[in-house]
Amino acid sequence: MRIYAFSLVFFVFFAAVIPPTHGDNPPTDSLKQVLKSATEDTTRFEALLELYKLHAREDTALGAKYRKQAGDLAQEMGDELRQARLARQVSLTHYFSREYQQHDSIALSIMDIFKEQGEKELYAHCLNNLGSSLFYQGDLLEAEKYFRESLKYYAPDDPVSLETSFNIVILMHQQARYFEALKRLLPLVEKFKARDDDYYYANSLVMVANIYKAQGHMEKAKEYNKLYVEKSREMGHKEGIGGGSHNLAQIYAKEENYSKALEHASVAREIFESIDNPYELINAMNTTGGIYKEMGDYDKSWNYYDQALQLSEQYGFRSRISEIYLNQSDLLLLEEDYTEAVEKARMAFQMVRETRTYDRMQDAAFNLYEASKELGKNDQALHYHEAYARYKDSVRSDQNSRQIQALKTNFEIRRRTWENEKLETDNQLQALQIKQQKSQILIFVLVLVLAVGIVLLLVMMNRKLKAKNRIISSQKEELTKANALKDRMFSIIAHDLRGPIGHFQGLLEILQKDSTREDDSMYREVMELMQQSASSTYSLLENLLNWARAQKDEIEFRPQSQNLRELVDEVVKLKSSEAGQKDIRLNHNLDTDLHGKVDYHMVNLVIRNLVDNAIKFTPRGGEVDIRGEKTDQAVQIAVKDSGVGMPEEVKEKVFNPYDHHTGAGTENEKGSGLGLKLCREFIAKHSGNIWVESTQGQGTTFVFTIPVN
């Protein structure tokens, strides 16, 4: 279920040429009077434009009449700017009617006119409007691009600039970029509060609540959502009450407090329906359907999903349509209607594939796999399971590919730079030698007169030569280090990746034989071996890339307060299957409130590598324990196994960055020797310590500490 993020506010600024009228006459009468009395075309155009603004949405026929008159007049005047201003107002009419594509087409066709004629404010408003339109169409990356571009044309503390920055926070939140969102949001909260801007201050409260929810701090999330609802009631802002209630419904549903969840969801639906906000009404219906699904009331769940789908199709909200298809396929799987589940999941898959939304592609592929498997369509099930795994790893694989390419490019640049500098140095040395020869000739000619001068010249030349030699020596040392890094990386790739990939290829060849498929136990065994081989290869590649980035100091260190119990829970959940394959018990006893200020990704990798190592060297039926405690000075985590232990000479090598050591596990598992070296480097970044305690044949314990501050 989706977190409620407050809708983007659409800002429209009207440059009124006709001053507002006062008294009993409505604005329309005043503008009509201007039309009758005006002698200049420019004044008549402005009056017609204002009349169109007043009637475009309430009386479409009358609005169309004023629009045509204003357009004809601007065309007669040959005034491109006024034609563009009229077109912009037409685009806004489409926007308010939720005809987003028509709005975008017009806005894109006129915005360059504003820019060329120096109308920077109108140009910035077009960018802002496009950002809002693209948000509602689900294109978050393009929306953010237009919002950021519009900020270039507003003063930093301009109200529109602050509100646009808040819209960017919403986009970041929806893309799970919580750190960036919080960094931009906190200064905005203070600025909105200082300006007594209750509307945006309230929205800031709900965004803080949403970030807490995304990070798993449910009590904090409820606290801030309740504050947001109270502030919205104080302001008489129904949309805010509905949004906060929707958020609370999702939080209570996550806590399995379904009665509270339905109570808040009902409030949200009633409010969004009363204020004609279909986008958020759809979200509230979708959430209600999910709550009933979790309660096992499938009929009511279907009812709300169908209502949400009809509204989404009516307004063209494609991202919501694909989400509802996925929810319906989940429900059909629970009802064991596998044929219909395949159809719904396939429709969702086709829609999200167009936008390359990997998380939903992954979910749709998994549902297709589950339904196909239950229908006995094993080939299709295997195909969709492969797609599920592929989409799950697609983002990370793309990042890894870019990192490898960047590493190769960086090495090539450094090699070429050194060659150019060496060539330049050689040329300089040759020039110096020529000068030296000339100087020697002069010495013979001027023997006594220039003796002192020649000595001074030789001293200066000698200093320059030594300086050049020092530069060459330094460059040679840098090149040697770069070559050593390259050779070490390629050696690991050649020796440690070649074996698993060759093994993987051999298993695939076995699967291609028809006879193998007839033997179900053999087929499962081969699939298990393939999974183990793929997992081992992926872990090796991840360690290799992290090690290479660490050598180049490219990994950004971002320590934050983390719940270490939750972090260890994630690792245990991830590695439990691998441990189970060797009948190894994977335990931990960390307190639920054990916190530390750490870089989440670095410490996660350290614990994963230590657990991997423990499983690798523990025989079947053994156990691995993860223990943690906190003192006044440090947080200490220990990973203890009941494995084979290690001799003293191995203990001295495991953390040595210059000694490449690896060994086979109890069932001949392979390793690269990089994991423990990565652990050492990442713990060093925390100013902590890591060591090993082991006796051969009696198990091994790896311990690391991280200072409290």
**Which pLDDT tens digit goes with each residue over 32-55?**
888 888 889 899 899 899 898 888
**Angle 148-150-152 from CA coordinates, rounded to 5°:** 85
**Same-domain pairing of 703 and 562:** yes
pLDDT(414) > 60? no
**CATH assignment of the domain containing 102:** 1.25.40.10
Q: Is residue 290 part of a domain?
A: no
Q: Please indicate, yes or no, if residue 151 is contained in any of the structural domains.
A: yes
Q: How far apart are CA 86 and CA 71, in angstroms?
A: 7
At 22, the amino acid letter reads: H
Report whether pLDDT(477) > 80: no
What pLDDT shows up at residue 5? 35
* Residues 465 and 573 occupy one common structural domain: no
- Predicted confidence at residue 1, as pLDDT, reads 36
434 and 570 part of one domain: no
State the pLDDT at residue 19: 31
**Alpha carbon separation from 686 to 326, 327, 598, 680, 693 (Å, rounded):** 42, 43, 7, 10, 21
Q: Taking the CA of residue 578 as centre, how many other CA atoms within 13 Å lie in the half-sphere pointing to its CB?
A: 25
CA distance 516 to 660: 40
Least reliable range by pLDDT among 145-149, 461-465, 614-618: 461-465
* Model confidence band, residue 112 (pLDDT cutoffs 50, 70, 90): very high
Q: Which carries the bigger pLDDT value, residue 140 or residue 413?
A: 140
**Which residues on neighbouring strands pair with residue 588, listed in sequence order?**
626
Q: Tell me which DSSP letter residue 448 carries.
A: T
Q: What is the pLDDT of residues 141-172, one digit of tens each?
A: 899 999 999 999 999 889 999 999 999 998 88
Tell me, yes or no, whether 527 and 560 share the same domain: no
pLDDT grade, residue 363 (50/70/90)?
confident
Whole-angstrom distance, CA of residue 124 vs CA of residue 146: 9
Tell me, yes or no, whether 499 and 573 share the same domain. no
Per the CB < 8 A criterion, the answer to whether 124 and 94 are in contact is no
Domain that holds residue 458: 393-531
Output the pLDDT for position 338.
93
DSSP letter string over 555-582? S----EEEEHHHHHHHHHHHHHHHHHTT
Q: Is 84 within the bounds of a domain?
A: yes
* Ranges 4-8, 421-425, 525-529, 593-597, most confident: 593-597
Tell me, yes or no, whether 2 and 64 share the same domain. Answer: yes
Question: How many domains does the chain divide into?
Answer: 3
Sign of the torsion angle spanned by Cα atoms 172, 173, 179, 185: positive
- 700-707 and 595-598: which strand pairing? unpaired
Residues 117 and 49 in one domain: yes
Please indicate, yes or no, if residue 686 is contained in any of the structural domains: yes
pLDDT of residue 25: 43
Same domain, 17 and 162: yes
Residues 60 and 158 placed together within one structural domain of the fold: yes
- What's residue 654's pLDDT? 79
Give the pLDDT confidence of 258-269 residue by residue, as tens digits.
999 999 999 999
Pair (624, 518) in one structural domain: no
Q: What is the pLDDT of residue 403?
A: 42
Q: What is the mean pLDDT of the chain?
A: 81
CATH number, domain of 604, equals: 3.30.565.10
Average pLDDT estimate for 105-113? 94
* Rounded Cα gap, residues 549 and 526, in angstroms: 34
Confidence of residue 509 (pLDDT cuts 50, 70, 90): low
Burial class (CB in 10 A: 0-12, 13-18, 19+), 353: middle
Those residues whose C-beta lies under 8 Å from the C-beta of residue 275, and which sit 6 or more positions away, are 238, 239, 242
Helix (H, G, I), strand (E, B) or coil at 415: helix
Residues 519 and 598 in one domain: no
> Using one digit for the tens of pLDDT, what is the confidence trace for 676-706?
888 888 888 889 999 999 888 888 999 999 9
0.85 surpassed by pTM = no
Q: What is the rounded CA–CA span in Å between residue 336 and residue 313?
A: 26
In a domain, 187, yes or no: no
Confidence of residue 408 (pLDDT cuts 50, 70, 90): very low
Amino acid 542: pLDDT: 65
> Which residues have C-beta within 8 Å of that of residue 563, sequence separation ≥ 6?
216, 592, 593, 594, 595
Q: Which of 175, 203, 226 is a domain's end point?
A: 175
Backbone angles phi, psi at 642, to 5 degrees: -105, 40
**Do the domain assignments include residue 212?**
no
- Judge if 34 and 145 occupy the same domain: yes
Q: pLDDT-derived band of residue 512, with 50, 70 and 90 as boundaries? A: low
285 is a domain residue: no
User: Is 59's pLDDT higher than 80?
Assistant: yes
- Is 128 a member of any domain? yes
What digits encode the pLDDT tens for the residues 625-638? 999 998 888 999 99
